[in-house]
């Protein structure tokens, strides 16, 4: 039954089709029961507004998979502005991060005969012009870092092979992070404003270089910075560290506009000092953060902000007296997400949602100030029985950790409520209050409680919230999670017998550690696509790219603090653990399935009851097939119900 319920939700034809601006129209990638691999389609904005949208299919991934005998999974398209008829389509075999790239013509609906084709790899690529790409990829022996990511950028002309491409930038084989990345910034008319290259030094630190012609020059930017866009000759940045220059200072977390000419170590042709000084658009307080940012040609900057994990949508406008902000009205206590933008028209999509409130999609126009609601998703579960509350737990060092509780309105606080605590706590990824329809149907409607723990390591309160638990301080994130569990039990919402936890990827580190450090607090754990053997994570594909987050086990003093929490090493045969459920994916080339396999094997060797399931397609993102994804969620909730409900 749960599988059927989940499948009905994930394949429903009345879902909101996520829109993107595509040339003069709207594009969308769509999956349902009839098209599990999906179709890439388009329509006009006028038709999208209507109740009966007329879609034109451009590319059918199910048909392509059948014709080519491949398990193709859509991984997106990059279309060249302004007409956006030439698109680089990324296809994954079975859901892996590594993709094949092919050039597609949306005007003809055909693959381009002399088009760009890149073999399978973890590419970083951008259009430079209609006949040139900037490509960072595997160019042969000794062109990838130990994490398997590229460190060389080349210019690839139409008709050339990768071997014939011209090198324009080279990092170092010892670089960390996710590989060197070229970024071409354009205005809405397609004119190139800047070409920047990010050279990662580790997971979070990077050098920023500007490519002018065939020569790259380093910019005078801090190593922890995110370039959000280009406005004229100004770079719009968010800072992940404090920054001082030219007698001015900005604190970490700020949104700043900086003059590109003054950032150059080597002046560009015709460089003149900007008449507009470097300015801060927004400086958050300790309970605020910036999430999405978009730069528009009319000079406005749109951003989603979070204030105590509650969303706001703001347009920053430049006037004669500097920048000022204008709030776009959104409901209280919701998550706000910025969608695609049209730079030259000032239009942008945005959506709002809450734990009990389905998503609503709107279109705004900064030039007119108008907003209109385009779509409202139907309710997928009965939310009338539940209420949302926000509490704080006190962690081991006294820090207040916020968390949301979605519970029945009439809940008697005697500790009997089956409760799932979700956590992530890493990589500056925020977890705001979003609508999770399958969770509502399969868990809340059955009387369950859902908890979203905003522990440190996330981005809910900006870079400091994340950086406070890096490397040797990681234990604090685990303490935060345990503090939330204890606080829930102290309040009488649940009890150890009724408490379960769920986390995936980095959240798999969290949940596996919770099992080994605090088995007395929980009776269930879904550990999905996890990192678990933290003393060897760097030896598995992509693992070394995360050394900036966890530390380097090859360094003895860093191995020492990692070993103190690594769940694979901390399992004990004489400790009583709950029956955990470990699940992974054979095609996961981001977090290797070996972590999950080894943990399950060691549990078995030590005589601990556990469940293990390995899906054979879908990859780390689980985006290959909504029907398969429904089965995945059904397995999770059947297990949690067995463990936590009578």
Splitting the chain (646 residues) into consecutive groups of 10 residues, what average pLDDT does each group show? Answer: 92 97 97 96 97 96 97 97 97 96 97 96 97 98 96 98 97 96 96 97 97 94 97 95 90 96 82 66 96 96 97 93 92 96 96 98 96 97 97 98 98 97 98 98 97 98 98 98 98 98 98 98 98 97 95 98 98 98 96 97 98 94 88 97 95
Residue 286 phi/psi, 5° resolution?
-70, -10
pLDDT at 1 (0 to 100): 85
Residue 370: alpha-carbon gap to chain centroid: 29
- Single pTM value for the model: 0.95
pLDDT at 245 (0 to 100): 84
Would strands 371-376 and 357-365 be described as parallel, antiparallel, or unpaired? antiparallel
CA distance linking residue 504 with residue 105, whole number of Å: 37
CA distance linking residue 547 with residue 613, whole number of Å: 28
Token pair of 45, please? 């904005």
pLDDT at 274 (0 to 100): 53
In this structure, the number of other CB atoms found within 10 A of the CB of residue 573 comes to 10
Would strands 580-585 and 610-615 be described as parallel, antiparallel, or unpaired? parallel
pLDDT at 248 (0 to 100): 87
Query: Helices 506-517 and 594-605: crossing angle, nearest 10°?
Result: 20
> Residues 423, 460: contact at Cβ < 8 Å?
no
Residue 611 phi/psi, 5° resolution?
-120, 145
CA distance linking residue 202 with residue 432, whole number of Å: 27
CA distance linking residue 391 with residue 410, whole number of Å: 18
CA distance linking residue 582 with residue 594, whole number of Å: 12
> Residues 489, 416: contact at Cβ < 8 Å?
no
CA distance linking residue 596 with residue 506, whole number of Å: 13
CA distance linking residue 635 with residue 356, whole number of Å: 23
> Could you tell me which of 309, 303, 311 has the C-alpha nearest to residue 341?
303
Q: Active-site residue numbers? A: 505, 620
357 Cβ partners below 8 Å, 6+ apart?
331, 334, 383, 435
Dihedral angle computed from the Cα positions of residues 433, 436, 440 and 441, in that order, rounded to the nearest 10 degrees: 170
pLDDT at 271 (0 to 100): 65
Per 3-state DSSP, the chain is made up of helix, strand and coil in percentages (nearest 5) of 20, 40, 40
pLDDT at 276 (0 to 100): 52
What is the distance between the terminal CA atoms of the chain, rounded to a whole angstrom? 17
Token pair of 322, please? 């500097």
């Amino acid at each position: 039954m749960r599988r059927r319920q989940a499948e009905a939700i994930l394949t429903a034809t009345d879902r909101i089709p996520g829109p993107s601006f595509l040339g003069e129209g709207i594009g969308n990638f769509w999956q349902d029961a009839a098209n599990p691999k999906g179709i890439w389609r388009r329509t006009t904005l006028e038709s999208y507004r209507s109740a009966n949208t007329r879609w034109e299919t451009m590319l059918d991934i199910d048909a392509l998979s059948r014709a080519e005998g491949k398990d193709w999974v859509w991984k997106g398209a990059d279309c060249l502005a302004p007409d956006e008829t030439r698109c680089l389509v990324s296809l994954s075999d079975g859901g892996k991060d590594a993709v094949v790239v092919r050039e597609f013509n949306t005007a003809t609906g055909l693959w381009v005969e002399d088009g760009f084709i890149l073999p399978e790899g973890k590419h970083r690529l951008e259009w430079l012009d209609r006949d040139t790409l900037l490509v960072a990829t595997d160019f042969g022996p000794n062109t990838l870092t130990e994490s398997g990511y590229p460190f060389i950028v080349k210019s690839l002309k139409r008709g050339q092979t990768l071997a014939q491409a011209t090198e324009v930038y080279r990092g170092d084989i010892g670089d960390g992070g996710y590989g060197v990345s070229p970024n071409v910034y354009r205005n809405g008319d397609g004119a190139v404003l800047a070409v920047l290259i990010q050279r990662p030094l580790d997971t979070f630190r990077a050098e920023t270089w500007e490519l002018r012609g065939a020569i790259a020059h380093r910019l005078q930017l801090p190593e922890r910075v995110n370039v959000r866009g280009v406005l004229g000759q100004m770079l719009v940045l968010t800072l992940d560290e404090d920054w001082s220059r030219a007698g001015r200072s900005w604190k970490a977390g700020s949104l700043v506009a900086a003059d590109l000419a003054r950032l150059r170590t080597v002046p560009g042709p015709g460089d003149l000092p900007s008449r507009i000084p470097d300015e801060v658009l927004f400086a958050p307080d300790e309970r605020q953060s910036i999430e999405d940012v978009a730069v528009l040609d009319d000079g406005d900057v749109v951003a989603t902000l979070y204030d105590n994990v509650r969303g706001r949508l703001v347009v920053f406008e430049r006037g004669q007296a500097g920048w000022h902000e204008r709030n776009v009205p959104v409901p209280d206590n919701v998550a706000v997400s910025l969608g695609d933008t049209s730079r030259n028209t000032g239009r942008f999509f945005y959506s709002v949602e809450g734990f009990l409130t389905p998503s609503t999609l709107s279109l705004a126009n900064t030039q007119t100030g108008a907003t209109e609601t385009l779509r409202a998703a139907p309710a997928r579960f009965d939310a009338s029985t539940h209420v949302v509350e926000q509490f704080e737990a006190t962690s081991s060092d006294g820090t207040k950790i916020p968390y949301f509780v979605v519970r029945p309105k009439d809940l008697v606080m005697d500790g009997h409520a089956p409760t799932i605590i979700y956590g992530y706590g890493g990589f500056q990824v925020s977890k705001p209050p979003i609508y999770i329809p399958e969770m509502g149907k399969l868990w809340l409607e059955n009387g369950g409680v859902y908890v979203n723990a905003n522990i440190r390591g996330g981005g809910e309160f900006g870079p400091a919230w994340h950086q406070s638990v890096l490397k040797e301080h990681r234990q604090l994130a685990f303490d935060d999670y345990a503090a939330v569990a204890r606080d829930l039990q102290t309040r009488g919402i649940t009890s150890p017998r009724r408490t379960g936890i769920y986390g995936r990827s980095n959240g798999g580190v969290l949940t596996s550690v919770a099992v080994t450090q605090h088995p007395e607090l929980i009776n269930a754990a879904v550990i999905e696509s996890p990192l678990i053997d933290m003393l060897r994570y760097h030896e598995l594909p992509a693992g070394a790219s995360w050394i900036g987050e966890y530390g380097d086990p090859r360094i003895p003093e860093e191995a020492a603090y990692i070993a103190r929490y690594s769940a694979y090493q901390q399992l004990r045969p004489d400790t009583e653990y709950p029956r955990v459920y470990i699940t992974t994916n054979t095609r996961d080339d981001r977090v290797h399935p070996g972590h999950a396999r080894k943990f399950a094997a060691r549990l078995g060797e030590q005589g601990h009851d556990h469940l293990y399931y390995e899906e054979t397609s879908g990859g780390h993102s689980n985006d290959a097939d909504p029907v398969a994804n429904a089965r995945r969620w059904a397995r999770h909730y059947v297990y949690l119900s067995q463990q936590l409900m009578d």
